[in-house]
């Protein structure tokens, strides 16, 4: 197929024609809920992944910055794709194709070895830098309050309580490290038993424990052996109880509200379950 995908802008098409003359569109990996095309191209026997964002897509720049600043420990070993081209004004990037199949939905998603490898890879990312931030906690609290102020289906009485809770939390300085931002099996590939990593559109400096949030809400909850293997690979557990509780609440609010706004009812239900569970754990004194 020619490179005339409907979600590509005129400038994005022109750049791709310049970078990959004669390339063929092999597969459309776009998932429809965001203003972004994810396309697999082939040219002269090589394969590439194109990510082309629209006007409302703010993730392409994050992904480019991750490639430029943090991914070398992975990409140099074949554990992450290599950046080939990018144009931030066009909201466009191209990486080499990374072989493998998504871990999610395969037997690898139930294999502790997958999580052990993922823990080791995450430790490599987190160890690259550490920055003290005096304003992070306050900014994250305000972000959650904005979610509560927007459209969602969190019960009004719970919304009021959450707003009061967020306003009462301490705002101490925290240590931020490079994070993936969506660390879970849907962004891991498995290739001949090796785990590889994709999708860096949420990469940013955050507390290390934030990359545990999706796994804790889904995979660790389903099978504690996966958590044990992950921690073994990572080498430690950064989830200080008080900070971890606050992170879980904020993550649950964001999940429930964002999923409602994009009409993902399954993910919205997960957000409401996350809220119920973290509040139940608070009452019983369970912190992890």
Per-residue pLDDT tens digits for 273-288: 999 999 998 888 766 6
**What is the spatial order of strands in the sheet that 101-102 belongs to?**
101-102, 188-191, 194-197
Judged against a pLDDT cut of 60, whether residue 219 lies above it is answered with yes
Q: Among 98, 128, 146, give the residue marking a domain's end.
A: 98
Cβ-in-10-Å burial (0-12, 13-18, 19+) of 165 comes to middle
Range of the domain at 15: 10-98
Domain assignment present for 260: yes
pLDDT of the residue at 5:
67
Please state which of the ranges 23-32, 58-67, 131-140, 164-173 shows the lowest mean pLDDT: 23-32
139 shares its domain with 45: no
Domain assignment present for 2: no
109 shares its domain with 220: yes
Domain assignment present for 3: no
Q: pLDDT tens digits for 131-153?
A: 999 999 999 999 999 999 999 99
Q: pLDDT tens digits for 220-241?
A: 999 999 999 999 999 999 999 9
43 shares its domain with 182: no
pLDDT of the residue at 11:
95
Query: In Å, how far are 57, 65, 154, 168, 280 from 51, measured between CA atoms?
Result: 11, 14, 33, 40, 40
Please count the structural domains in the chain. 2
94 shares its domain with 106: no
67 shares its domain with 191: no
14 shares its domain with 140: no
Domain assignment present for 21: yes
162 shares its domain with 213: yes
Judged against a pLDDT cut of 80, whether residue 6 lies above it is answered with no
Kindly report the pTM of this predicted structure: 0.92
Asked if 197 and 74 touch (Cβ cutoff 8 Å), the reply is: yes
Write the CATH number for 111. 3.90.1200.10
pLDDT of the residue at 207:
98
pLDDT of the residue at 2:
45
Q: Among 50, 70, 98, give the residue marking a domain's end.
A: 98
Q: Among 54, 72, 98, give the residue marking a domain's end.
A: 98
131 shares its domain with 224: yes
pLDDT of the residue at 135:
97
> According to DSSP H, which parts of the chain are helical?
10-19, 59-69, 72-75, 112-126, 136-149, 156-168, 213-217, 219-222, 224-234, 241-261, 265-284
CA–CA distance, 36 with 54 (Å, rounded to integer): 6
Domain assignment present for 241: yes
Q: Give residue 33's pLDDT band: very low, low, confident or very high (50, 70, 90).
A: low
């Amino acid at each position: 197929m020619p490179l005339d995908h409907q979600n590509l802008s005129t400038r994005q098409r022109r750049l791709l024609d310049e970078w990959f003359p004669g390339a063929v569109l092999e597969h459309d990996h776009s998932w429809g809920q965001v203003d972004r095309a994810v396309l697999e191209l082939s040219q002269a026997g090589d394969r590439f992944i194109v990510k082309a964002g629209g006007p409302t897509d703010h993730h392409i720049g994050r992904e480019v910055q991750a490639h430029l600043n943090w991914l070398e420990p992975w990409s140099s070993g074949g554990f992450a794709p290599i950046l080939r081209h990018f144009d931030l004004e066009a909201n466009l990037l191209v990486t080499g194709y990374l072989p493998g199949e998504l871990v999610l939905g395969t037997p690898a998603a139930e294999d502790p070895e997958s999580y052990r490898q993922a823990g080791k890879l995450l430790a490599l990312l987190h160890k690259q830098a550490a920055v003290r931030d005096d304003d992070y906690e306050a900014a994250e609290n305000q972000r959650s309050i904005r979610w509560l102020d927007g459209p969602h289906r969190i019960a009004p009485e719970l919304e009021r309580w959450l707003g009061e809770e967020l306003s009462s939390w301490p705002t101490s300085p925290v240590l931020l490290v490079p994070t993936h931002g969506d660390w879970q099996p849907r962004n891991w590939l498995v290739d001949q038993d090796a785990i590889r990593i994709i999708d860096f559109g949420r990469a940013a400096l955050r507390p290390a424990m934030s990359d545990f949030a999706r796994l804790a809400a889904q995979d660790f909850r389903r099978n504690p052996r996966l958590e044990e293997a992950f921690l073994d690979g990572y080498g430690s557990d950064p989830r200080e109880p008080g900070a971890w509780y606050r992170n879980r609440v904020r993550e649950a609010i964001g999940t429930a509200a964002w999923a409602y706004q994009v009409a993902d009812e399954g993910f919205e239900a997960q957000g409401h379950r996350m809220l119920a569970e973290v509040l139940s754990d608070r009452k019983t004194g369970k912190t992890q």
